[in-house]
Amino acid sequence: MLDSYGESVLIFLGINMVLALSLYLPMSAGQLSLGHGGFMAIGAYVTVICTTWLGWPLVAGLAGGGLAAALAGAVVGFPALRIKGIYLIILTMGFGEIVRIFFLNFEPTGGASGLGGIKHLTTLPLVMGAAALMLLCLMRFRGARIGRALRAVQEDEVAAEAMGVNLTRVKVAAFALGALGAGIGGGLYAHQALFIEPAQFGFFRSAEIFLIVVLGGVGTYWGPVAGAAVVTLLPELLRFVQDWRMTVFGSLLVLCAVLRPAGLLSGRRPAA
């Protein structure tokens, strides 16, 4: 029914959904991050080490990659506590670069020449299952005590703390869980791309994930899903304009920003 081209497009759609949903969690607590590519890189490399070198099954490898990324997320989460907005963006960008340059110089995983020989283990049901599972988690958080605390932190940190919310715990946990998801996304990506190199996880990757979430809208967890669909499928549908493809794509994104400033799926207007 699906040809291999269609299947691979849908797999990348699923991976983008996983990455965007994982960034959505810290962003829903007001933590903007442009370093998600770094967590993705850690997840990708660690997963490949687990599956290819240690011979673990993919799901176990993904767990390993996700946990390694989550650990890094907790470490970055602490210094990120006291800063917000543009400063947090710069800190996370710096983190992403550190990770990229680390793998660039780390010879055991191939350094700049990358790491090949990865088995094709990522399947469409697996990525869609992972995305669905993450969506389900976000849905479960939403109506619960922790979900309310996250929204409260996003709205007003001082008031949230005055309600008894432990800002440190909530923010570091949200950041680490976001990194966990990005690590799993990285592992899935590696076993689809079959070859990984540091350049794939640089600033542009982080910016793309960020774009997906902002484009979709941070008001609802369906935002990242819609954003991923647009950013993954639209360039494929625009192939008929050939060389002008990315120009048209970029113009459409600008149009979205003008017409839906709070994201495609956002009932709420941003504060004027």
Partner 1 sequence: MLRIDRLAKRFGGYQALAGVDLAVEPGSVHAVIGPNGAGKTTLFNVITGILAPTAGAVSLEGRDITGWRADRVTRAGIARTFQQVRLFRGMSALENVMVGRHARTRGGFGAALIRPPFRERGEEAETRRRARELLERVGLAARAGTSGGDLTLVEQRRLEVARALASDPRLLLLDEPAGGMTPVEVEDLNQLIRKICETGVTVLLVEHHMRLVMRVSDAVTVLDAGRVIASGSPDTVRRDPRVIAAYLGRDA
In 3D space, the residue among 70, 43, 21, 69 whose CA is nearest the CA of residue 186 turns out to be 43
Which of residues 70, 160, 228, 231 is near partner 1 by CB under 8 A? Answer: 160
If the CB atoms of residues 55 and 267 are measured against partner 1, the closer one turns out to be 267
**What's phi and psi for 196, nearest 5 deg?**
-125, 145
Closest CB 155 distance from partner 1, rounded Å: 4
Residue 208 binds partner 1, judged by CB under 8 A? no
Q: Which two tokens stand for residue 34?
A: 């442009």
Residue 29 binds partner 1, judged by CB under 8 A? no
Residue 130 binds partner 1, judged by CB under 8 A? no
For residue 196, what are the β-bridge partners?
Answer: 115
Q: 250 and 208 in contact (C-beta within 8 Å)?
A: no
Residue 262 binds partner 1, judged by CB under 8 A? no
If the CB atoms of residues 83 and 90 are measured against partner 1, the closer one turns out to be 83
Residue 84 binds partner 1, judged by CB under 8 A? no
In 3D space, the residue among 259, 216, 187, 169 whose CA is nearest the CA of residue 24 turns out to be 216
Closest CB 147 distance from partner 1, rounded Å: 6
Which of residues 2, 112, 144, 199 is near partner 1 by CB under 8 A? Answer: 144
Q: Which two tokens stand for residue 54?
A: 């240690």
No. of helices (H) and no. of strands (E), the chain: 11, 0
**Chain positions contacting partner 1, by CB under 8 A:** 137, 140-141, 144-149, 151-152, 155-156, 158-167, 173, 177, 268
